Structure 1
């Protein structure tokens, strides 16, 4: 056990990736072989899906516990950073979803506004919070991104984490999941673009992941709202959104680099 702890402490990136993928793959095997576990909507499936979704956080907590840094890392990750306008990027998915809906209205497309009721909003937020950003970002952006950034810089690190993040999602296309309704190439490109935005936000958040969790949440919630309104199939919406995400992310990255504001201060 001591040797394993030493390995995890000395190689946090490799240890994190190994633990994350082992936990998620074990969960996948259970999803595919345990009756009713193929969906988080069942009492059997929900805990298995939660373990899979929270695998990055579980891995990060194990690594930090071994290094005796857990309390410090949790305090930093969930601290409120000094305000930066870059943190407002966390609301971009809602802006893009709204822009697409406005364009569709101008084209005369029918949107089922009556399908959405305010009473759905809190459950939508909570479900998407726990089955997504709150379970992942402590690992992806709290541990992996800053560890890689030390050697490769922010932009390369954001691209690397985005590619790994996309690969980690790939087993969902073996299941009847919401993600499986989206072409994998479009989903992956979206994930990498979001990872770039998250890298920018992290660079101005002193190690806090709160705004990153909000960005992840608003992306997931925007998909949920579009699905409820019946204006698009999830795959169709994600592909259309790329026409806005790609130029906007490139512009934001350019501004970020030109202004020379890519240093990260951690409290």
Structure 2
């Protein structure tokens, strides 16, 4: 943000406990200036108030993730609302900060804003964590979800479920999500309304966060002009336990 003191940004960029001064990576000045312009635009368009508290995270490869809470209480990232599509794009653009993007996305879904966020500054390079063990797919639950989705195909609401997202639960149960020809998001054979999402949470409580993310995605779809969403879920799940396409 052009209205943020540059010295403060440079100072916080080098806050890495235990790091030696000579080991600090070069300050990504060009990228910071680009992000500052994005925040200036967010202020000009009314997304956030001037002078709002902004946190920023850097990686040794020069990527910058800057976050704030907007006027509506929604989390903003690099001057944009942190919608599911924006979160996915940021994870692709800055893989070393993918976990941080997911942290703020989860905070957004829980209404926690920036609570619990780590200190501003350079994020150390951590060894990649291995994925959790893949849960066995509950074949009975999967078959029931596929049968319910087949009804939607017969009704002309869903194409053959190419690109379906399948998320199994460790203790049994599954989410089978497909994008509709009408722009709707269907899970286990029904549109993901709030009531249906609450029912699914009671059936597979350990997948509640996945349902939150799907609900946010559906809301984003419904805000846009209706279009064929047959392949919209392909690549939209970063959880290693998520199967897509199907």
Same fold (TM over 0.5): no
**In terms of Rg, which structure is larger?**
2
* TM-score, normalisation: structure 2: 0.29
Answer 1 or 2: which has greater helix percent.
Answer: 1
Query: Which protein is richer in strand relative to its size?
Result: 2
